[in-house]
Chains A and B, each alone.
Chain A
């Protein structure tokens, strides 16, 4: 690799590197779409500082400084709860989404029967590819208080039926469990890949040294996946405000708004249903920049700790 490095240095031109203008032309279609549908909306976030009037448009509406923010953050009833719900749900999901794939990957790694292992893998990856719409439809049907399968089972063993999606104490656990159910299998993929790269001779040496299975996991397998686990954990920090719009939006109802309403659903109701464009965008503004900050921080830590470079 050493001898290639001079060619990569920017100033020293390789004699083959004639600049071909067609490279720039190729970039134009993507750039145009990004300018229109990503960059203009980013500048459109200024609605958050305006008294938006649809007739005057984004640029023509009068500035009102921080009024929208003051109203939402300090005067709007229940907004604090929305922020709390968002972080609460997101953090719990983050923790369970992080731990379960590691455990399952370790268990899978102990399976010697290849066919069994493959079958389990195929089945647990599946829910990731099914849309939340389908899964929420499924959940509403299965968890129905009157004729859902889960309540039929509860009734059969003599328990009282529970209205899981209409009950403040059960709604959030249902969110977390279904989220883990959907994603834990897919999360194992990266660990399974890391596990295959562990040198088998380490295990053989350990066997000769009379290490038992648990010791092998502790001293070979775990250190083998530790770097990836650290990286995945750090990158996961970027999702601190991602409570999961698709899932919550399709499961919640007024009975549980208190515990289920999150920033994304709030933004949607405020903007699309109540047509309070400026107030909704004030929330978007804060979430957009907070999210960007969180992701950048997580990338930075990942770079410092694990040398991770996404690009």
Chain B
């Protein structure tokens, strides 16, 4: 239906498009600036000449980044933690969410068991007690310290559990009539139907592991064991901890802003590359988790 727009509406449209375009640009411009910095020469960057396009383009910062052993190792550790951590996350998610999605008569005691799993969602043991337990179980300085303590995300369990509940009960009941065990039902009926939900949770877990830095900082005593984000945090905090502006000026001359930019870009690239593919899933996930009720 075509209805002629009043001048006021037209003005609003223009205003609206401009505002939204500015907002959208604001979300990417900082990254483009960083990208430009990473491809610029150190001299141009330190002189503040770099805007949104590289000045005196060079790959030196990237070469330097890939020749920095700690950076490369940290990248490897993060890849490993994502592979191991996300696998463990998903296995535990399925194993926990499936029984909890059952009715009380299929899983006697379900209410109590559910509370057992829900309570940690509300209350945590705090920094020090958790730290002491992780140390006592000898996970310090191993990759397991990054994977095991947070392996069960109760929030994600809730999402999957609610998804399982939407699966038509008749499918399972007919399989059970034919003598299928719960494990068979899970593998043959529920899991194939839950693929969209699992994909969403896969995205959440992957991004979570990729971006996580705090456990690396407190459980790893050597930079050799740092995951990527913990390593970057150290690099960045060294710049920020120089509080005297004259000192910063000195530091800017000798350190390389461009090198830091290159490292940040490399660390963010994997997320940026998979981002367009995962968009579909996280939008689904957001609405999955929040819209019900």
Chain A residues within 8 Å of B, Cβ to Cβ: 8, 10, 12-14, 16-20, 22-24, 26-27, 29-31, 33-34, 36-45, 47, 58, 104, 107-108, 110-111, 113, 116, 119-120, 122-127, 129-134, 136-138, 140-142, 144-149, 151-152, 163, 165-166, 181, 185-186, 189-190, 193-194, 204, 207, 212-213, 228, 232, 245-246, 250-251, 253-255, 267-268, 271-272, 277, 280-281, 284-285, 287-289, 291-292, 295-296, 306-311
Complex CA distance for A304 and B138, rounded to whole angstroms: 45
B214–A130 touching, CB < 8 Å: no
Give every chain B residue within 8 A of A287 (Cβ-Cβ).
126
- Residue ID in chain B nearest A42 by CB atoms: B125
Complex CA distance for A20 and B105, rounded to whole angstroms: 11
B211–A284 touching, CB < 8 Å: no
A37–B240 touching, CB < 8 Å: no
B106–A119 touching, CB < 8 Å: no
Complex CA distance for A289 and B119, rounded to whole angstroms: 12
Contact with A along B260-282 (1 / 0, CB 8 A): 11001001100110011001001
The total of interchain contacts (Cβ-Cβ below 8 angstroms) comes to: 301
B28–A22 touching, CB < 8 Å: no
Partner of B27, one of A30, A185, A280, A307: A185
A152–B48 touching, CB < 8 Å: yes
Instruction: Known contacts A42-B123, A190-B286; decide if A149 and B48 are in contact (CB<8 Å).
Output: yes
A29–B275 touching, CB < 8 Å: no
A18–B132 touching, CB < 8 Å: no
Complex CA distance for A273 and B257, rounded to whole angstroms: 28
Q: Does B24 contact A (CB under 8 A)?
A: yes
A284–B127 touching, CB < 8 Å: yes
A253–B240 touching, CB < 8 Å: yes
> What interface size band does chain B fall in?
35 or more
B126–A30 touching, CB < 8 Å: no
Partner of A271, one of B31, B107, B128: B128
Contact with A along B44-66 (1 / 0, CB 8 A): 01111011000000000000000
Contact with A along B8-41 (1 / 0, CB 8 A): 0100110011011101111110110110010000
A146–B249 touching, CB < 8 Å: yes
A295–B127 touching, CB < 8 Å: no
B24–A123 touching, CB < 8 Å: yes
- Residue ID in chain B nearest A48 by CB atoms: B126
Interface majority SS (helix, strand, loop, mixed), chain B = helix
Q: How far is the CB of B228 from chain A (nearest CB, A)?
A: 9
A272–B1 touching, CB < 8 Å: no
Partner of B240, one of A22, A189, A250: A250
B236–A136 touching, CB < 8 Å: yes
Q: How far is the CB of B268 from chain A (nearest CB, A)?
A: 5
B213–A308 touching, CB < 8 Å: no
In the A-B complex, list the 4 residue pairs whose CB atoms are closest, starting with the nearest. Answer: A41-B125, A284-B126, A44-B129, A131-B211
Give every chain A residue within 8 A of B125 (Cβ-Cβ).
38-45, 284, 288
B152–A30 touching, CB < 8 Å: yes
B124–A309 touching, CB < 8 Å: no
Q: How far is the CB of A145 from chain B (nearest CB, A)?
A: 5
Give every chain B residue within 8 A of A272 (Cβ-Cβ).
127, 131, 218
- Residue ID in chain B nearest A207 by CB atoms: B3
Extra inter-chain contacts (6) besides given A148-B48, A250-B236, A281-B128, CB under 8 Å:
A34-B117, A39-B125, A44-B126, A45-B129, A136-B240, A213-B12
Instruction: Known contacts A14-B105, A23-B102, A30-B92; decide if A122 and B276 are in contact (CB<8 Å).
Output: yes
- Residue ID in chain B nearest A277 by CB atoms: B128
Complex CA distance for A130 and B34, rounded to whole angstroms: 14
Q: Does B223 contact A (CB under 8 A)?
A: no
A141–B257 touching, CB < 8 Å: yes
Q: Does B113 contact A (CB under 8 A)?
A: yes
Give every chain A residue within 8 A of B31 (Cβ-Cβ).
138
Complex CA distance for A277 and B218, rounded to whole angstroms: 14
17 A-B pairs with CB atoms under 8 Å apart are A14-B173, A22-B182, A23-B99, A29-B95, A33-B92, A37-B134, A38-B125, A44-B132, A130-B268, A130-B271, A134-B267, A147-B47, A147-B257, A292-B123, A309-B293, A311-B114, A311-B118
